[in-house]
Amino acid sequence: MLRIAQTLNGQLLAAMERAFPEAVQRAREAGQPLDPQLAPASKPEFGDFQANGALPLAKPLGQPPRAIATAIVEQLAADPAFGALCEAPQIAGPGFINLTLLPERLAAEVQDRLRDPRLGVPAVEATAAGAPLAPVIVDFSSPNIAKEMHVGHLRSTIIGDALARVLEFRGHQVLRLNHVGDWGTQFGMLITHLKQVAPEALTTADAVDLGDLVSFYRQAKARFDDDEAFQTTSREEVVKLQGGDPVSLKAWGLLCEQSRREFQKIYDRLDIRLSERGESFYNPYLEGVVADLDACGLLVTDDGARCVFLEGVSGKDGKPLPVIVQKSDGGFNYATTDLAAIRYRFAAAPDGDGACRVIYVTDAGQANHFAGVFQVARRAGWIPPHGSVEHVPFGLVQGEDGKKLKTRAGDTVRLRDLLDEAVERAEADLRRRLAEEERSEDEAFIQHAATTVGLAAVKYADLSTNRITNYQFSFDRMLALQGNTAPYLLYAVVRIAGIARKGGDLEAGGPGAAAAAAAPLIFTEPQEWALVRELLRFDAVIAEVEEELLPNRLCTYLFELSQVFNRFYDQVPVLKAEEPARTSRLALCRLTTDTLKQGLGLLGIPTLERM
């Protein structure tokens, strides 16, 4: 109900100005504009909205807040536009103003959403000059070359994708960037090892696959740790690579390309879209980062390294902590690359992306790193006044024992294996239920349904948890048909869509939908009004996720919506109702289906026609 809330906010402000013109003027002169403090009501019995703006006015006006609220309400009563929107306001407690929307206004909102493919969610507006909005960058996933994606990449990939989908739905131009680890000193040992044990890889396509490369990485690391001669050759190889040696570059490219192909299999399976822009992309800009920081007086040489000392951040010795930008040997590190990325991302085209907001989806352990990098970038002036950088941290994926999720052998769980098991378990559960119900389904249906449910269960279990906390990974819990799970919501969509089909064609564009959109909707039962109000919360929830970057808010809403619908359907007849109740209730069924499908789609979860 964002549009209604904005209208009410304007009406409250106008009423406050009419009731207390001198106070309003003084507040404006002091740079303290009035705020009606309008918010959704905390309980249904308080109405739809609650305005608490009378309370902070008590001291400057020298009046009791209840008297102030009374004066505001009197002005509202004199406003015909307010009278067409709300019932008579009620003053509660010390001066809260409770506002209840007129039933016909709520019904009209439902009807509007039945006609609106965006379900009432407004698209962001273009700039005043009509120019396109500046891009929003979401930096997520970020696996390392020559390593397989593991369960640790799951959260960044799924959370980042959901946030990108929500921002795109709102109308933002989103750059989905995959900052892969495709550069650095580790490539010296990898290329050296590759040249020595698989020289054919440099002349023959597909001589090694990712499994080999993972094994190569472990072997190369072991040799690097134990063999001084290998260490020396590896360091020389890094210099060759950075210097553009053709053979070294070819080996590096082979490692990157074969890893990239395996990563893409995971992304395709999860329906994730990403544009790769690895660490290597920013190499040409690293010297510029150092030069810029030096020119603006931030760079300090300390023990041979060039650093920026952070303000307000001290170590155990009480001294400011440094962000090392260039090591004493002249090399660069992750902080330098991340600073170059920020500088490029905010720089205007054609020298950069011209972004207005950059969002980094990484584990919570990198919070201090990003806090330091962001501070340096702000002090250097690379983040414009209108721009924002945000770290979206997330906790660990744990096993059911509360410890970090590992295989029985103690290895990190490969993401590929985890997804395989989710689909296999979903298929076994589906076959068991089909046997119990004595239903016969073809293999294509079983495979499609099992894949959809299995992958949805993994995604939803992650997204429904507050990302800031750790969460325990449990196949049994995430595949359950009861509770706040993907299978429960997918089943709800199938069930509600089936109800709508039995009542006539209520799909968008069908005759039933046209009838529901044309005829006035009539609601009389409390269960109907509860569902109406829940459906109309969708736009506010999307705005909340856009601002706070917490996908679990959307998950909670979808679960609560399905529960409110179930109470409505269990307690109020729909298909057997008389007109006009029947058409009105079927319209609620259709809008519930559309809202659940849209919400799940924004989480990257497709729905099924039947289960």
Residue 108 pLDDT level (bands cut at 50, 70, 90): very high
- pTM here is 0.92
Give CA–CA dist 52/55, Å, rounded: 6
Q: What tens digit of pLDDT does each residue of 521-578 get?
A: 999 999 999 999 999 999 999 999 999 999 999 999 999 999 999 999 999 999 999 9
Residue 335 has pLDDT above 90, yes or no: yes
Residue 574 — φ and ψ, nearest 5°? -115, -70
Cα 459 to Cα 13, 155, 174, 293: the distances in Å are 43, 9, 21, 41
Both tokens assigned to 511: 């005759």
Residue 516 pLDDT level (bands cut at 50, 70, 90): low
Residue 31 pLDDT level (bands cut at 50, 70, 90): confident
Residue 34 has pLDDT above 90, yes or no: no
Let me know the angle formed at the C-alpha of 491 by 485 and 496, rounded to the nearest 5 degrees. 130
**Predicted local confidence at residue 402, as pLDDT:** 84
175-185 b/e (C-beta count within 10 Å ≥ 16 → b): bbbbbbbbbbb
Residue 130 has pLDDT above 70, yes or no: no
Measured between its terminal Cα atoms, the distance across the chain in Å is 33
Average pLDDT over residues 94-111: 95
**Predicted local confidence at residue 528, as pLDDT:** 97
Give CA–CA dist 220/236, Å, rounded: 15
537: region left, alpha or beta (phi > 0 left; psi from -120 to 50 alpha)? alpha
Collapse the DSSP code of 534 into the 3-class scheme (helix H, G, I; strand E, B; otherwise coil) and give the result.
Answer: helix
Cα 356 to Cα 48, 296, 386, 543: the distances in Å are 34, 23, 7, 18
Give CA–CA dist 227/235, Å, rounded: 13
For 158, the enclosing helix (H) or strand (E) is helix 151-169
Give CA–CA dist 585/574, Å, rounded: 6
**Predicted local confidence at residue 541, as pLDDT:** 97
**Predicted local confidence at residue 207, as pLDDT:** 64
For 322, the enclosing helix (H) or strand (E) is strand 320-326
Residue 334 has pLDDT above 80, yes or no: yes
SS3 letters across 263-290:
HHHHHHHHCCCCEECCHHHHHHHHHHHH
Give CA–CA dist 346/127, Å, rounded: 18
Give CA–CA dist 575/585, Å, rounded: 8
Average pLDDT over residues 122-150: 84
Of 159, 342, 178, the closest CA to residue 273 belongs to: 178
Burial of 482 (0-12, 13-18, 19+ CB in 10 A): exposed
Residue 28 has pLDDT above 90, yes or no: no
57: Cβ–Cβ under 8 A, 6 or more apart, which residues?
16, 20, 23, 34, 63, 65, 68
Give CA–CA dist 126/356, Å, rounded: 13
Q: What tens digit of pLDDT does each residue of 482-512 get?
A: 999 999 999 999 999 889 888 875 454 555 5
Both tokens assigned to 149: 């994606």
Contact 188, 238 (CB under 8 A): yes
Q: Which has the minimum average pLDDT: 272-286, 314-328, 566-580?
A: 314-328
Contact 24, 16 (CB under 8 A): yes
Average pLDDT over residues 416-440: 94
Give CA–CA dist 292/376, Å, rounded: 11
Contact 545, 469 (CB under 8 A): no
